[in-house]
Structure 1
């Protein structure tokens, strides 16, 4: 049974709270923090969770502080922020397109970011900062191209997905061509980046992600009500005072920025943006966009997958993108079967 409560502030603002969704967010947040503590303690030099917590509050030994604060904590924070960005970005894409397949993985944003990174690596022999900038620019340009190509008196969900699939195919071919013309060293570097990994991430990747999330996440949550109204149809939304196309355009820009920045920081990590909103919706049992649960689910999935890749295969032996790709591929096949049975594809 769904329990919904409304809180009213002194200024007359009414806030609707879904008790089940609040509980899901709390549980997922606790799971993400727990997995983070365990992940920080995992590696060639294992550290018990109690010592990890003690070190994080400044009471650890000198060696533990170096290992945790300088080496492992930035990697875990990047994982949390990348997972949260992909989860929220995927929820926005799926809500705007009204399609469970409307995620950055399917729409080609990951391929666009990879194309930008490959151009810098193969044609310019750029350094790590230039590769990151190229990936960010590639993702943004791809998102803009998809929106313009899908525009026809508005953006229809299935048209957006179909255009995205076409753009993804073109970019995949471009990426393959760039790999074939690169030398062995550049090709190896490109393949490692395209796999998607948190290995070697430091504070230089943490701060841009944290700053972007601090600005964009509140902006998205402030527009949750308008996004929920668009699910009733454009005509009803306009009648209720929602500027539908303006809202979609703004949220699409936010979604592209979130996914492109996340991809630039860690490489194209597959299927988190696709699966996180779906799993969050099944837990909350709510038909709405489920933005905050999707954010928490994305963070939990990525740090858990990173722990699994280290625990099962040894530290840094298997990039986290391989784990998420394998698990997400199985989920995608299951989702396609469900959509086919429902007659939607």
Structure 2
């Protein structure tokens, strides 16, 4: 059993249902529903102002929802602050340390304030700050301060760790250190909820992803489920003389779309064709069969699933279209959660 670990929950670690929160007339969170199971890494994505930080504050019990419900570790957070904090580690976007203290003294002070128990030297080594133990906080780089933030968040092996934009401003080494540690924590049974602008980070770490915009969850699920909301694509080049008529002579599979651009390659002009559709394996087989029948050489052939960046971009475009159509609408996006 993990250090300081409580008995396993019979249910989700975080359970949010139809969450609403307003600052006066501004609706910051509009009907958010999400569920985070034990030992999951759940990534909450969105632009600034999408509602991510407010949602985190509601989950942690720093604010009471206007309506809807939140349960964390089996209890309602605003009325059970002590119980939640004893089992939750938090890494904020900015932390306030006493800059005159050394790294070692900072973590010792944290150990005195925390109800959880751990070993200072072990935690510093785990976040890669053992060689900076005697260095004052004011002398740390930005990346090293973020790792000290992380040390306080993981102190005592909490059941839930909340990471708010954890890799903002980090150098590549510090980012990889944090990613490795998040994977280790998940393997040990810790649940991690993180917000991030880094799509690569979500793709690398998250078991489940939710994209927020205008206070709502626009799309959510496993990474594969989220990516499947946009078509995969196959790209290739042909010489201009070949044209595209050879494709038009064959019936396309359902849902397949084809676009073409004229491009300049090092070896001359080419037509770049993009084949997109819902079933990439089927579509690729169709394309190769047609090319073989027509004796067409496919240059630079590549088959790729949709990226998280494409999904994110499409969500934003959809939202802009909805707002333009009905600026006062509070239902431009329907919140939903793809079931596990």
Report the TM-score when normalising by structure 1.
0.23
Report the TM-score when normalising by structure 2.
0.23
Which of the pair has the greater relative contact order for Cα pairs under 8 Å at 6+ separation?
1
- Report which of the two has the higher share of strand: 2
- Report which of the two has the higher share of helix: 1
